[in-house]
Structure 1
Amino acid sequence: MRRTLSAALVGVVAAAGALSAQEQPHAFRGATLLPIAGQPIQNGVLVVQGGKITAIGGADTPIPAGAVVHDATGKTIMPGLVDTHSHIGGGDGGDRSSPMHPSVRILDAIDARDDGIQKAQAGGITTVNVMPGSGLLMSGQTVYLKLRDGNDIYDLAYCRDVLRDICGGMKMANGTNPRGEPPHPGTRARAASMMRERFVRAQEYRDKARRAGGLDKVTPRDLEMEGLVEVLDGRRTVHFHTHRADDILTALRLAQEFGFRIVLHHVSEAWKVADDIARSGAASSIIVVDAPGGKLEAIDTRYENGVALERAGAPVAFHTDDGITDSRWFLRQAGLGVRAGMSRERALEAMTIAGARMLGLQDRVGTLERGKDADFVVLSGDPFSVYTRVEQTWVEGSKVFDFGDANDRMYAVGGFGVFGDGAAHAHEGEEGH
């Protein structure tokens, strides 16, 4: 195993064997299980092996011979958290030379050894959508990461082949952030016009590609157009930064006109247009900022955004926008949503399966079900209690965070001095460097 077991979760080897840590089954018994796909299971049993969940059920669930058995009595186990909008990894996107850079890939700028990744693991996050910034109308392509312990982007990216597969979505933005002097739009109306012009060009390029027999047959290649054709074809989801009600509706009009899949991000004024969002079928990834300040266009944000979207019947997930909200306190987002009136069930979904659906990863993560990736979090208590902490985080059956480990605990409770250049970063078989 990557780290020693904490004192709170004492592992008992049921039978010694020659199985490797990856192949040896692990069974967690005695915890309250929150499958998300079904009702909570008291005194439950969760079995994982080969990176997958192999069994989940009540106390009578069989435990394989030779399994490492963890006594999780008094704990809560839920799926690994899915953060639909983050900026960990030290990456960046397009620059100010142009208002749109749809060919830019943030995966080319991600540092897989960035301390923010361990900070996210300490918060129970196992899947994350890492985004370029929102200073441009189109800042580039996002990347979906599985927060394994890794040395490079190949260890973390969801796609098997980062050269050929689609590894994420497309980041777009409207409102205050992308405005500016030419060549950037000076007004909201001009911003929408420029986006429409670019998508019309992409439609024409798609027609050209079809006549040529495919995108790979077009010469000369246009990388910007290729990225936008992937959006038009529904193979790349648009993740759209937007705050004000009028900006939200503009984003929805663009999605309707060009037929692309959209996830609305932040949507500070979602409570004003929740029914419009629901009618459009769009999903919303929201943030709960628990301190005043920030940009003027977000002044009307409310804790009730989550409950407004829930009541309207619109899909909703939470995100950190780390470092706007520290990844270690991600669960607090849902807790504040419940405090404002959101149902417990929808709030739990908003941390897990709802976000997985927005990233198109629902077949692998987001619930505790047999056959899904063994991504889960061991909590000291109820997920919405302010007294609860993340005790362990597991990704594909491997432990990536343990509060009982002194080095890991540093990432869970340390201040700014823990992170940044020169901070220790523990990897398997390493003490840090």
Structure 2
Amino acid sequence: MSAASVWKTSLQGVIAALAVVAATTPAAAEPVAIVDARILSVGKAGDIPRGVVVFDRGRIVAVGANVPVPAGARVIDGRGRTVTPGFIASETGLGLTEINSVTQTDDTRSSSADLSAAFDVARGLNPASAAIPVARLGGVAHAVATPRYDDRNLNRQRPFAGQAAFISLDGGVDHIQPHIAMTLDLGESGAARMGGARGAEFDLLDAQFDEVKLYAENRAAYNRGALRRLTLSASDLEALVPVVRGEQLVLVNVSRASDIRQALIFAKARGLKIALTGAEEAWMVADDIAEAGVPVILNPTSNLPLSYETLGATVRNAALLHKAGVRIAFVGNDATHRVRELRYNAGIAVANGLPYQAALAAITLNPAQVLGLDGRLGSLDVGKQADIVLWSGDPLEPLSQAEVMFIGGVEQDLGTSRPMQLRDKYLTHQRQR
């Protein structure tokens, strides 16, 4: 058995073990009903000015204006408050980075010359990261932990950063879904890493994808050394097979309008399943993106020409894409420590023309749909996982606070994040003076 096969078998065993643990993870021991709240379901129930959400054993069992409260249920008074699904943050470093300036605490990058597409961030995730409770304060229940590039090795010409993982911010290892997406840079940064020019990168990608196809069709010959020499390592070849087959989502980071067009053409020609990220000039080619049915993950606050490929950046990007029929999802203001600002970005998008419901969907249902997880996450619908946040007011208003939060029906402690602990420490110190 090849090293790649051994690794794959081992990983499958780990995933199976995690699934068993997840199945036995305790949810609330009794039904819970949030009553008399404004409910923004982002689902079939729509918006309910004064309604009830009931969940039991980690699943939503009822949502509506006139829902009876089950006998023996824990009742939470939602009067004057708002209920939303837990938010989903795309493209983060949660669980992978602690201190940006301390490289030993950064597990987002591989510096190996032989490892790019196969780099799996799920194996380095730390569910006890201090950044995770901070993100929960912003209503974030789930996140995509995404690899980044290591550009210190100038001889490392590899186009892919690695494999992203989907994580629950419940502080445990029970709900980690590895290989949720592959990551790829195009545009300026991609060209700098692969061939030195945009056209060269696409030519080299074509050659590598042809290699992967050859490998997939001739594994036995490859394993016995009877296949011609391939430029990619065995682990990268294996990791790219589902990409080439159009089975795995590829997060394509690209900014310039012309680069976006080329990405769409390349994806169509190769039969790839992609989502655009960054996409500062996407509004210029919104109709092309909509026609291709490709979603866009963006920061709606990006409005400065920080490089030649973002000269067209505008805060109206999200609104214009939505108007054209593009599914959009949002990111926070950095990969790790400001993920909680995801809702602020949604609010800024509303202030710049995006309908309120579209902004809320961009941090709940839309990212779930992009990742293929909308059957169980992203909205307050019967049968879905009970990821629920009770807010003191409008969730897109910065002064509102998450007062109660459930992930998978389990209540989360919102008082033990590092910022809250420091607040309490120094408030106590002040009182003692």
Range into which the TM-score falls when normalised by the shorter chain:
0.7 to 0.9
1:188-236 Cα shifts (integer Å, max 9, x gaps): 2212222121111112222225xx6xx9x96679221221111123331
Tell me the distance in 2 between the aligned counterparts of 1:325 and 1:145: 16
Partner of residue 81, structure 2: 75
1:264-292 Cα shifts (integer Å, max 9, x gaps): 00100011111111111111011123685
**Residue 197 (structure 1) aligned with residue 212 (structure 2):** no
**Residue 289 (structure 1) aligned with residue 301 (structure 2):** yes
Letter of the structure 1 residue corresponding to residue 316 of structure 2:
E
Output the aligned Cα RMSD: 2.7
Work out whether residues 134 and 418 of structure 2, in 8 Å CA contact, stay in contact via their aligned partners in 1.
no
- Identity across the alignment (%): 28
Work out whether residues 94 and 336 of structure 2, in 8 Å CA contact, stay in contact via their aligned partners in 1.
no
Letter of the structure 2 residue corresponding to residue 97 of structure 1:
A
Partner of residue 107, structure 1: 122
Partner of residue 50, structure 2: 43
Tell me the distance in 1 between the aligned counterparts of 2:218 and 2:272: 19
* Superposition pairs of residues 189-268 of structure 1, within 5 angstroms: 189-209=199-219, 222-268=234-280
Tell me the distance in 1 between the aligned counterparts of 2:308 and 2:136: 32
Tell me the distance in 2 between the aligned counterparts of 1:137 and 1:246: 19
1:49-75 Cα shifts (integer Å, max 9, x gaps): 1111111111x3111111111111111
Work out whether residues 27 and 57 of structure 2, in 8 Å CA contact, stay in contact via their aligned partners in 1.
no
Q: TM-score, normalised by structure 1?
A: 0.80
Note the residue ranges of structure 1 that are not aligned, 5 or more in a row: 1-19, 159-165, 419-433
**Residue 30 (structure 1) aligned with residue 36 (structure 2):** yes
Q: Kindly state the Cα deviation for residue 21 of structure 1 after the two structures are TM-superposed.
A: 6.5
Letter of the structure 2 residue corresponding to residue 93 of structure 1:
R
Partner of residue 423, structure 1: none
1:66 to 69, 72, 85: 72
Partner of residue 97, structure 1: 113
Letter of the structure 1 residue corresponding to residue 213 of structure 2:
Q
Letter of the structure 2 residue corresponding to residue 320 of structure 1:
G
Work out whether residues 134 and 177 of structure 1, in 8 Å CA contact, stay in contact via their aligned partners in 2.
no
SS in 2 for 1:201: helix
Partner of residue 427, structure 1: none
Closer, same or farther: CA 219–101 of 1 in aligned 2, 3 Å: farther
Q: Kindly state the Cα deviation for residue 96 of structure 1 after the two structures are TM-superposed.
A: 6.4
Partner of residue 140, structure 1: 162
Tell me the distance in 1 between the aligned counterparts of 2:355 and 2:27: 39
Q: Kindly state the Cα deviation for residue 320 of structure 1 after the two structures are TM-superposed.
A: 2.0
Letter of the structure 1 residue corresponding to residue 141 of structure 2:
T
Q: Which deviates more from structure 2 when the two are superposed, residues 188-197 or residues 330-339?
A: 188-197
Closer, same or farther: CA 22–130 of 1 in aligned 2, 3 Å: same
Work out whether residues 296 and 326 of structure 2, in 8 Å CA contact, stay in contact via their aligned partners in 1.
yes
Q: Which deviates more from structure 2 when the two are superposed, residues 284-293 or residues 171-180?
A: 284-293
Work out whether residues 25 and 68 of structure 1, in 8 Å CA contact, stay in contact via their aligned partners in 2.
yes
1:98-149 Cα shifts (integer Å, max 9, x gaps): 6x71111011222221111112111111121111115662011110112222
Tell me the distance in 1 between the aligned counterparts of 2:234 and 2:336: 35
Partner of residue 9, structure 1: none
SS in 2 for 1:254: helix
